């Protein structure tokens, strides 16, 4: 039947009636399905060849499509659109490049110029058009394209024989491309109807099995059969993906076992192993992975199969790594992933999972570096958004400033999917989660307006502007019924597939983690475009309105996920998640639509920004105590009952007289800047305290008040040390001492001590270690982390050695001086004969007075040293808080050594110490040095090193033991290697006695079954 004259001139797809009248149909010659790397170019050529034509050359499912030998449609767009408007290879080439907007223009042009003359051509172009719309996330428009067709794609109106005038050579069979069938099945899922999508996938599987693979073998070639087998594998893979997200493991196992018994596909066998592992069948998973290895050994070929061999080797490597990972042997898993990365630097699965393994090893800093460096060096076509979202989740876990998170999102999202937004149409009605006008309350709302900004994108030396949308905050809108509901109610609703939300609540950055804890995943969706909106010149000009925060209906109770990707057998890069219970606080971010934030850029001469850091900063390690404390806090916020014994912070409230003094200062308006060195009132009080309690005489101009003792120490190191100087630090040491020396370009020299000597510095070791470069000796008494107190006689011996070295100064860190247990007594090093002019005394209010949050410390010493530190402070933070200084005056007025308030705290600390020393003394293989001050135990657990724990791996040091105790006992401790002694672990007893007793029982329960590796 002839095509109506108007059909070819349509800029939109023909109507359903036009097909019924015999106007439209389709075929796609010589195009075979193949996987295209990266998420933006996955379904470009999965077309169905007509049965009557010669079968296409097969394309391996793990090889990329080669660009067609045609004129580059992007280098000369107008010429290519005119001269190749009906060239299907050009459409395929555009799809390979991810040029989705160009495809839309090409299809619209072909329709408007009546260039589609035969029925099957309309279906071919409709397929490319739907594909482009899906890639641009214009799902509603894609659905409108499908509405021109009947739901039954097997209808006679889509058969060649229905159009004998158009196809006179007795052509027969369906004109519907396989890609269109798959898009027809997949689209309901993007629109939120998972069940309909699953039903259509089963119909598609039935069509392949009963129609294509059950035909008479004499009528088709082996190549065509092989092609349809690969498509069958692909559809099964998609079905498994849907069932796996619903935790329907038995269905997945049935489908995969049925498939793998018919076709020896190593990727499908690997997937079977993944599902078996999630189902708990570890032996079955092991057998599946072993079978993959055998299949790979048989399939290894020459140079012609180089890509195939590379991908198969990495598949085997990732399987091995996953096995190690499930056994919690993270070190071995990291090694396997590194080998995969050596073979293929763009293997984002290996990159991602290596980073996560490092995080499970509590090396969050290196984990972040792995993802950052990968995103910097891997070509754009190989990037995957999972790397970006996991990096951002790690930033959240590390409590990185949100401005840094925004910057990272801006940079990486722009590279992952630079072509994923369409500038030609309104976003207002493009999203599947937008409720219909009749949608009842309880559905998620996303309608909000947002201005646009320009994002500079560079491509092979040529600048291209791509409009993006930007926003800064998130908003949950919708259900009135969601108001006032707790986390459990939200979880219950999400499990049931509901859309429970908290109406009108704006999620500030501080609430994002709470939101992440309330659902397994969330997506920040792009907002509506405003037509003719002028572009702002900077971020400051952008009106930061709310965005939609869409929670996933599929709820998981735990989180930061390993991504196990079958990169090659699936068009959609089938992703399944193995959940890891040890980091319940983190939540995987799913960008199900668009970027969360992008960088605004308007200048036409935009240049690449050098984001390198100074060698000084790169040499500094982050504080492990801070990192572990933050991790433990995040776990507690997520509902994990972790006992936190990592932080060096008293659990008492600030004494009432001190707090009242701070309140009074606020009420009386004492809220302005103070002198850089501190108020005269406070410095005078400090001088009086040092004279009365420490036997040291100072004047107010020899005192510098700072924002905590940590700032005082850093400024002193910067003031007295020159590049190349040596800073002498006895170990165990406070974690920041060596890093502060490095910040000053000085060299930390670590002097070991032993538990048998109560971790006190041996004067002979000190004397033998001093050189002409020795500039500063740091002493901490009472000690963090050991609680050791230097007796006066030992300090006098050290002073005699110091006196022999004119360049050598001493920094005496006395922050714990009041937390000391009789009969031990505190001696200030500056009070020793001849040491006043050689000593910088550091003290503060955080520990003894329970004022950690008030951030106040001070430095006392010779005036020229103190003045130098004051210069540094004047150009950095300036003076300390005026309110805190008033409170500190009140603290010093409580009486000698803090009076009764401090004495009560010290009494409680001593009781806790005694209980812990007695309890751990009953545990085999533990060496104890009883602390005489502070609130730490530094226990030697090295007899447990070398043990291999089932399901965990080898305990090869303090960090591994701390990970084991966090995993097994849910107690957060700090490994001794952070303090320079890997034989020990630091336990803070700045918690209630009840909490400490519970922690001891947990630790004993985790260790009692372990036999010490070495007799004590």
CATH of the domain spanning 656-900: 3.40.640.10
Between CA 516 and CA 588 the distance in angstroms is: 8
Cis bond leading into 782, ω under 30°?
A: yes
With contact defined as beta carbons under 8 Å apart, do 36 and 99 qualify? no
What mean pLDDT comes out for the span 371-385? 63
| Confidence label for 411 from pLDDT (cuts 50, 70 and 90) | low
Choose the most confident range, by mean pLDDT, from 315-329, 435-449, 765-779: 765-779
Which pTM does this prediction carry?
0.48
Task: Look at residue 535 in the predicted model and tell me its pLDDT.
Answer: 31
Q: Looking at domain 624-651+902-1007, which of 3.90.1150.10, 3.40.190.290, 3.30.10.20, 3.40.50.1460 is its CATH number?
A: 3.90.1150.10
Specify the higher pLDDT residue, 317 or 883: 883
Give the whole-number percent of the chain exceeding pLDDT 70. Answer: 65
Q: What is the pLDDT of residues 310-340, one digit of tens each?
A: 778 888 888 888 888 888 888 888 999 999 8
Which residue from 733, 683, 682 is spatially nearest to 703, judged by alpha carbons? 683
User: Is pLDDT at 504 greater than 90 in this prediction?
Assistant: no
At 549 the three-state DSSP class reads strand
CA dihedral 515, 517, 518, 523 (to 10 degrees): 50
Q: Give the lowest-confidence range in 331-345, 615-629, 680-694.
A: 615-629
E strands within 927-975?
Answer: 936-940, 948-949, 953-954, 971-972, 974-975
Strand 936-940, strand 984-988: pairing: antiparallel
DSSP structural state of residue 113: T
On the question of pLDDT at 643 being above 80, the answer is: yes
Displacement of CA 324 from its chain's centroid (Å) = 21
Q: How much is the mean pLDDT over the chain?
A: 71
pLDDT score of 579: 28
* pLDDT over threshold 90, residue 764: yes
Given this model, what pLDDT does residue 508 score?
36
- How far apart CA 483 and CA 475 sit, in angstroms, is 14
Mutual orientation of helices 249-262 and 222-245 as an angle, nearest 10°? Answer: 170
Please provide the CATH number assigned to the domain covering 314-379. Answer: 1.25.40.10
Q: Which residue has the higher pLDDT, 883 or 88?
A: 883
Confidence of residue 928 (pLDDT cuts 50, 70, 90): very high
Q: How many CA atoms lie within 13 A of 86 on its CB side?
A: 14
Query: Percent of the chain, pLDDT > 90?
Result: 32
d(CA 516, CA 653) in angstroms, rounded, equals 30
**Three-state DSSP class for residue 779:** strand
Q: How many Å apart are CA 398 and CA 395, to the nearest integer?
A: 5
For range 173-180, the mean pLDDT: 84
| 529, 532, 538, 541 alpha-carbon torsion, rounded to 10° | -90
pLDDT for the residue 269: 85
Type and span of the H or E element at 576: strand 575-578
**Residue-wise burial string across 51-71, b where 16 or more C-beta atoms lie within 10 A, e elsewhere:** beeebbeebebbebbeebeee
Sequence-distant contacts of 763-770: CB under 8 A, at least 24 apart: 763/794, 763/797, 763/798, 763/801, 766/728, 766/798, 766/801, 767/801, 769/728, 770/728, 770/801, 770/805, 770/808
Binned at pLDDT 50, 70 and 90, residue 451 comes out as: very low
Output the pLDDT for position 327.
Answer: 81
In DSSP terms, 751 is beta-bridged to: 730
Q: What residues does each domain of the chain span?
A: 1-245, 247-299, 314-379, 397-589, 624-651+902-1007, 656-900
């Amino acid at each position: 039947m002839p095509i109506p004259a108007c059909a070819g001139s349509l800029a939109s797809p023909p109507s359903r009636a036009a097909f019924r009248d015999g106007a439209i149909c389709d075929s796609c010659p010589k195009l075979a399905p193949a996987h295209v790397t990266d998420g933006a170019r996955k379904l470009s050529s999965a077309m169905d060849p007509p049965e009557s034509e010669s079968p296409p050359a097969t394309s391996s499912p793990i090889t990329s499509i080669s660009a067609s030998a045609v004129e580059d449609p992007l280098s000369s767009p107008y010429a290519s659109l005119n001269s190749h408007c009906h060239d299907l290879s050009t459409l395929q080439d555009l799809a390979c490049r991810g040029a989705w907007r160009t495809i839309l223009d090409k299809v619209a042009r072909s329709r408007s110029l009546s260039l589609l003359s035969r029925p099957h051509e309309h279906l071919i172009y409709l397929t490319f058009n739907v594909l482009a719309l899906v890639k641009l996330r214009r799902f509603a428009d894609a659905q409108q394209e499908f509405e021109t067709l009947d739901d039954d794609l097997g209808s006679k109106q889509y058969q060649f024989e229905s159009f004998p005038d158009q196809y006179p050579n007795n052509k027969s069979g369906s004109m519907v491309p396989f890609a269109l069938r798959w898009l027809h099945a997949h689209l309901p899922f993007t629109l939120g109807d998972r069940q309909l999508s699953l039903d259509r996938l089963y119909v598609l599987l039935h069509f392949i099995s009963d129609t294509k693979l059950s035909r008479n073998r004499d009528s088709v070639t082996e190549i065509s059969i092989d092609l349809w087998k690969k498509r069958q594998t692909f559809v099964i893979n998609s079905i498994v993906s849907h069932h796996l997200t619903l935790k329907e493991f038995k269905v997945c196992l049935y489908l995969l076992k049925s498939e793998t018994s018919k076709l020896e596909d190593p990727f499908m066998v690997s997937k079977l192993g993944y599902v078996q592992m999630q189902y708990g069948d570890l032996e079955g998973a092991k057998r599946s992975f072993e079978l993959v290895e055998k299949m790979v050994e048989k399939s290894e070929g020459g140079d012609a199969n180089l890509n195939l061999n590379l991908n198969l080797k990495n598949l085997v490597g990732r399987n091995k790594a996953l096995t190690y990972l499930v056994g919690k042997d993270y070190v071995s898993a990291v090694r396997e992933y590194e080998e995969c990365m050596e073979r293929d630097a763009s293997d984002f699965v290996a990159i991602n999972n290596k980073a996560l393994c490092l995080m499970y090893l509590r090396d969050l800093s290196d984990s972040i570096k792995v993802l950052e460096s990968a995103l910097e060096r891997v070509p754009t076509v190989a990037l995957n958004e999972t790397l970006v979202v996991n990096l951002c989740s790690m930033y959240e876990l590390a409590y990185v400033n949100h401005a840094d998170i925004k910057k990272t999102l801006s940079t990486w999202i722009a590279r992952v999917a630079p072509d994923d937004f369409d500038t030609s149409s309104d976003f207002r009605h493009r999203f599947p989660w937008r409720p219909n006008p009749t949608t009842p309350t309880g559905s998620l709302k996303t309608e909000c307006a947002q201005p646009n900004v320009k994002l500079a994108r560079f491509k092979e030396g040529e600048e291209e502007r791509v409009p993006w949308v930007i926003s800064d905050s998130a908003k949950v809108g919708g259900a009135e019924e969601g108001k006032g509901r707790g986390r459990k109610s939200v979880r219950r609703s999400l499990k049931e597939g509901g859309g429970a939300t908290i109406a009108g609540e704006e999620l500030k950055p501080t609430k994002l983690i709470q939101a992440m804890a309330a659902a397994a995943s969330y997506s920040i969706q792009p907002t509506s475009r405003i037509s003719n909106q002028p572009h702002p010149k900077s971020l400051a000009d952008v009106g930061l309105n709310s965005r939609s925060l869409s929670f996933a209906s599929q709820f998981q109770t735990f989180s930061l996920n390993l991504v196990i990707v079958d990169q090659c057998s699936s068009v959609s890069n089938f992703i399944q998640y193995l959940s890891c219970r040890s980091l319940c606080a983190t939540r995987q971010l799913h960008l199900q639509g668009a970027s969360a934030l992008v960088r605004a850029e308007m200048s036409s001469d935009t240049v690449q920004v050098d984001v390198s850091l100074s060698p000084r900063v790169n040499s500094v390690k982050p504080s492990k105590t801070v990192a572990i404390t933050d991790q433990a806090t995040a776990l507690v916020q997520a509902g994990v009952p972790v006992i936190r014994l990592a932080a060096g912070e008293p659990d008492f409230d600030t004494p009432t007289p001190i707090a009242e003094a701070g309140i009074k200062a606020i009420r009386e308006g004492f809220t302005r800047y103070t002198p850089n060195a501190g108020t005269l009132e406070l410095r005078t009080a400090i001088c009086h305290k040092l004279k009365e309690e420490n036997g040291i005489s100072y004047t107010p101009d020899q005192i510098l008040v700072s924002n905590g003792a940590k700032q005082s120490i850093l400024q002193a190191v910067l003031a007295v040390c020159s590049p190349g100087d040596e800073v002498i630090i006895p170990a165990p040491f406070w974690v920041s001492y060596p890093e502060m020396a490095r910040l000053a370009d000085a060299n930390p020299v670590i002097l070991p001590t032993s538990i048998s000597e109560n971790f006190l510095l041996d004067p002979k070791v000190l004397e033998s270690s001093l050189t002409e470069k020795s500039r500063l000796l740091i002493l901490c008494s009472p000690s963090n982390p050991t609680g050791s107190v230097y007796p006066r006689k030992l300090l006098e011996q050290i002073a005699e050695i110091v006196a022999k070295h004119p360049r050598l100064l001493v920094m005496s860190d006395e922050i714990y001086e009041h937390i000391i247990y009789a009969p031990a007594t505190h001696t200030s090093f500056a009070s020793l004969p001849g040491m006043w002019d050689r000593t910088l005394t550091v003290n503060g209010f955080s520990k003894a007075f329970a004022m950690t949050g008030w951030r106040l410390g001070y430095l006392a010493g010779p005036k020229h040293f103190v003045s130098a530190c004051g210069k540094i402070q004047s150009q950095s933070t300036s003076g300390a808080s005026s309110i805190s200084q008033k409170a500190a005056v009140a603290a010093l007025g409580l009486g000698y050594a803090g009076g009764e308030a401090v004495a009560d705290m010290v009494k409680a600390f001593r009781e806790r110490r005694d209980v812990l020393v007695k309890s751990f003394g009953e545990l085999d293989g533990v060496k104890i040095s009883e602390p005489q001050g502070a609130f730490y135990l530094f226990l030697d657990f090295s007899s447990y090193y070398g043990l291999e724990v089932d399901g965990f791996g080898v305990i090869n040091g303090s960090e591994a033991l701390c990970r084991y105790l966090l995993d097994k006992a849910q107690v957060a401790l700090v490994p001794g290697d952070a303090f320079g002694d890997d034989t020990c672990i630091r336990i803070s007893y700045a918690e209630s006695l009840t909490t400490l007793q519970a922690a001891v029982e947990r630790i004993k329960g985790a260790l009692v079954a372990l036999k010490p590796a070495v007799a004590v």
